[in-house]
Amino acid sequence: MADNPKSPPGRRDELAGKPRARVEDVAQAAGVSTATVSRALNRTGPVSPAIRERIDRVVAELGYVPNGAARALASHRTRAIGVVIPTLENASFSIMAASAQRHLNAAGYHMLVASSDYEPRQEWAQIQSLVAHGVDGLILVGSRRSPEVIDYLKSRRVDFVVTWTLADGDTPCVGFDNAAAARRMASHLLDLGHTQIGVIAGLTLDNDRAAARIEGIRAALGERGLAFPRELLIERPYKIAEGQFALRTLLAATPRPTAVICGNDQLAFGALIECGRQGIEVPRKISIVGFDDLEFASQIVPSLTTMRVPAEEIGARAVEMLVSRLSGLATPQTIEIEVSLVVRDSSGVLAK
């Protein structure tokens, strides 16, 4: 049945036999003023933790949806999807977001994008803001976040899909096994005869993908009876300059690694640049590998061995899953994306 554009606010909830809660209802039930409720929900002013918790509890119990979302419910849909990514500086996330936008537009939706800078609190605030503006669904990156966030989305019946990883439980996801991919990369280097392998990883705090890749490398070494020395693991932000800095540190380590696995291509580009500055032949003296297969990976000299992650496909399939769920269609809970090892010139047998 077509939406009635003249339906009064709250009509959808009334048809379900439950009048839509108002901000006044939340204030009365929580024993505070409407201004306090507004400050708590919009994070626009000081509210004590105890009162904020009480308001959040009442909001969940009453099913209150503020501002833009309430207006959206009056007409059933905003045709807007929120996409929250860790950073726009990483080309892979930008490619995914661009792909998502193209496919959302084709499906009759528009996209609102936010960048959390890998900060869980910032992501949480952005999710609340997008829900308040009435988005029909969300595309998120990674599965490591507070249960409070998931409970919030479920209580407000906001569909969401996580990407870049395979989530446990009943979380819809479009991604790949990061640990298995990193284990495959480490096995490639081990097959070339490298036993001293250094790692320049992304920051693992609040980043399940980076942490899983380290575990995959550790597993590959363990399968060959090799230890993973803590001094050969460095965590740095995903920037080229950080890859340069980290490689200098690894080259000073004892034992010195003969191969280095980088958590993404940007770190690997930095490591290759540093090798060039120090006159270290790659791969004759040291092998450098990355993760992502950005466009520049095949153009840098030497060309970079890396794991190819199809970011464009992740964006497209995430949209496909989310739009299907919003349409009430049966969808798989998990869509696994194939990643592949791309062997180029930066990895090889160590020279005697």
User: What integer is the mean pLDDT of 91-111?
Assistant: 96
User: Does the domain at residues 178-310 carry the CATH identifier 3.10.310.10?
Assistant: no
Give 87's DSSP letter. -
Question: CB-based burial of residue 115 (10 Å sphere; 0-12 exposed, 13-18 middle, 19+ buried)?
Answer: buried
Tell me if 173 sits within 8 A of 334, measured CB to CB: yes
Residue 200 has pLDDT above 90, yes or no: yes
Give this prediction's pTM. Answer: 0.79
User: What integer is the mean pLDDT of 238-266?
Assistant: 96
pLDDT digits (tens, 9 = 90+) for 126-144: 999 999 989 999 999 999 9
Residue 290 has pLDDT above 50, yes or no: yes
Higher pLDDT, 160 or 12: 160
The two tokens of residue 240 are: 């080229």
> Residue ranges of the domains in the chain?
178-310
pLDDT of residue 2: 40
Cis peptide before 5 (omega within 30 of 0): no
Question: CB-based burial of residue 58 (10 Å sphere; 0-12 exposed, 13-18 middle, 19+ buried)?
Answer: buried
**How far is Cα 112 from Cα 130, in angstroms, rounded to an integer?**
8
The overall average pLDDT reported for the chain is 90
In sign, the C-alpha dihedral spanning 118, 215, 253, 343 is: negative
Tell me if 184 sits within 8 A of 191, measured CB to CB: no
**How far is Cα 218 from Cα 212, in angstroms, rounded to an integer?**
10
Tell me if 112 sits within 8 A of 135, measured CB to CB: yes
pLDDT digits (tens, 9 = 90+) for 45-76: 688 888 888 988 888 888 777 655 555 554 45
Tell me if 285 sits within 8 A of 257, measured CB to CB: no
**How far is Cα 95 from Cα 97, in angstroms, rounded to an integer?**
5
Tell me if 214 sits within 8 A of 234, measured CB to CB: no
16 band by pLDDT with thresholds 50, 70 and 90: very low
How would DSSP label each residue in 163-179?
ESS--STT--EEE--HH
Residue 255 has pLDDT above 90, yes or no: no
**How far is Cα 150 from Cα 162, in angstroms, rounded to an integer?**
11
